[in-house]
Copies of this chain bind each other. A is one copy, B any other.
């Protein structure tokens, strides 16, 4: 038994049994150890951004961390953008990053880099284990930190000689470290929130994290029905349970002007595991803080606290425990488009209406999908996973990980074409693992968001240089060929009829399928 075995055993003992991996030479002893533990499910990504994005999607659905296996500083670097998204989502994750043997670092071999330096900006916790004997304790601590509410990115750096170092036969069983329960909010915070709600006009509950999941969502719905307080959520969220017969929550829209308009009557924000809403980007002459600033927000509970308990206490304080929840009635669906050229709106409506019950929607639709949240509010109940950190290239990996976590649920990805290219390699993993992923590529063949932003900075007619940086034409991407190149069947459609049929076909089958929707 060596250090790598000890690390692997400790992960398994702490209920981490999926490892998304892109290993290299320095990780070979860990790979050999994984090979001796068939209980660990190893899922290969052909690029590290796939690995970290999939681990994010997995943990959002499994509510426990996966491990990732990455190759020194550059391999971690490749995974950094989706680690950023996961860090913003507060997704639990345990990264195992191989590094040179401790004694080899001094020679500055070509792959040497400051691994801690690369890890820190996108990790909550970073540790380098120096010997095989310390790996079990460090790995258990990594899992404990990762699982601590609301979730953390724990990065463990594994020198090759710590992995290959032999351990004595009487090495004890791996430690099991339970994360502490999320702490309670204070009674004072609950009283302050209740007082504000009772005072009437302009109070709004800003719900984040576990407050967007059952059963907390239902408690929030009861409070809203009884008091009239508005229910809001941040623009981007780790996972929202929504659809008919669930408590509807109004999401702060991405465009600054729309967000300011939505929030203009909010006099008092009450934060429940969320922050006060801020603009995604700054613009000259526009505010960074989106809500009126007359009153500082009240914090009912921080993201680290028990949000369900905080909402229950608030309902008790308000004396409304018995009130029925606010559920969304089964609205008559908006008119389904029946024929004609395909548009972004048609894609959003058709997808929302055909969404099967219990679907998982991974949303990286960016510009073309901005209508989807409103349209799908009355879809069948589903989980909605968003791009939380603004680092594009998470849609396909997120779906990959969610499908590994939930093999019995349909995963539908709304994928913008520009961002889809960042981690297109995820399609191969979907094919290899035969994951039940239906990908809808909204192919507008441009960075449409940036065209809008160019107008925002006063450029009405982009010239050659700008066009060449914002358009994805010359040549157009052919997503059917790209998917075929990675073993995923695909179809291209440009009419409402063909798109509807393609979605129905994709839903009827089990396994990966891609629709390139030309809009």
Q: Which A residues form the contact surface with B (CB < 8 A)?
A: 21, 23-26, 28-29, 31-32, 34-38, 40, 42-44, 46-47, 49, 73-75, 77-78, 80-81, 84-85, 88, 100-101, 103-104, 107-111, 113-114, 117-118, 120-122, 160-161, 164, 235-236, 275, 278-282, 284, 288-289, 388-391, 393, 418, 421-422, 424-425, 428, 431-432, 449-450, 453-454, 456-459, 462-466, 468-470, 472, 474-487
Q: Cβ of B46 and Cβ of A472 under 8 Å apart?
A: yes
Q: Which of B31, B278, B449 contacts A109 (CB 8 A)?
A: B278
Q: Which of B42, B81, B109, B450 contacts A469 (CB 8 A)?
A: B42
Distance, CA A32 to CA B485, complexed state (A): 36
Q: Cβ of B487 and Cβ of A476 under 8 Å apart?
A: yes
Q: List 13 A-B contacts (CB under 8 A).
A: A25-B450, A28-B454, A46-B422, A46-B472, A73-B84, A74-B85, A77-B391, A100-B281, A107-B278, A107-B289, A114-B120, A118-B118, A164-B457
Would you give the shortest CB distance from A7 to chain B, in whole angstroms?
14
Q: Cβ of B477 and Cβ of A28 under 8 Å apart?
A: no
Q: Cβ of B164 and Cβ of A459 under 8 Å apart?
A: no
Distance, CA A483 to CA B485, complexed state (A): 8
Q: Cβ of B34 and Cβ of A281 under 8 Å apart?
A: no
Q: Cβ of B88 and Cβ of A81 under 8 Å apart?
A: no
Would you give the shortest CB distance from A87 to chain B, in whole angstroms?
8
User: With A35-B462, A454-B28, A469-B31 in contact, do A74 and B78 touch (Cβ < 8 Å)?
Assistant: no
Q: Cβ of A101 and Cβ of B282 under 8 Å apart?
A: yes
Q: Which of B31, B78, B80, B424 contacts A425 (CB 8 A)?
A: B424
Distance, CA A483 to CA B477, complexed state (A): 10
Q: Which of B43, B418, B453, B479 contacts A46 (CB 8 A)?
A: B418
In this complex, what residue of B is CB-closest to A111?
B390
Q: Which of B37, B117, B421 contacts A465 (CB 8 A)?
A: B37
Residues of B within 8 A of A122 (CB): 73, 77, 113
Residues of B within 8 A of A35 (CB): 459, 462-466
Residues of B within 8 A of A431 (CB): 475
Q: Cβ of A479 and Cβ of B475 under 8 Å apart?
A: no
Residues of B within 8 A of A118 (CB): 80, 118, 121
Would you give the shortest CB distance from A147 to chain B, in whole angstroms?
23
Q: Cβ of B78 and Cβ of A109 under 8 Å apart?
A: no
Q: Cβ of B278 and Cβ of A103 under 8 Å apart?
A: no
Distance, CA A104 to CA B21, complexed state (A): 36
Distance, CA A475 to CA B434, complexed state (A): 10
Residues of B within 8 A of A464 (CB): 35, 38
User: With A482-B481, A484-B481 in contact, do A109 and B281 touch (Cβ < 8 Å)?
Assistant: yes
Residues of B within 8 A of A114 (CB): 120-121
Q: Cβ of A28 and Cβ of B120 under 8 Å apart?
A: no
Q: Cβ of A281 and Cβ of B160 under 8 Å apart?
A: yes
In this complex, what residue of B is CB-closest to A36?
B463
Q: Cβ of B46 and Cβ of A421 under 8 Å apart?
A: yes
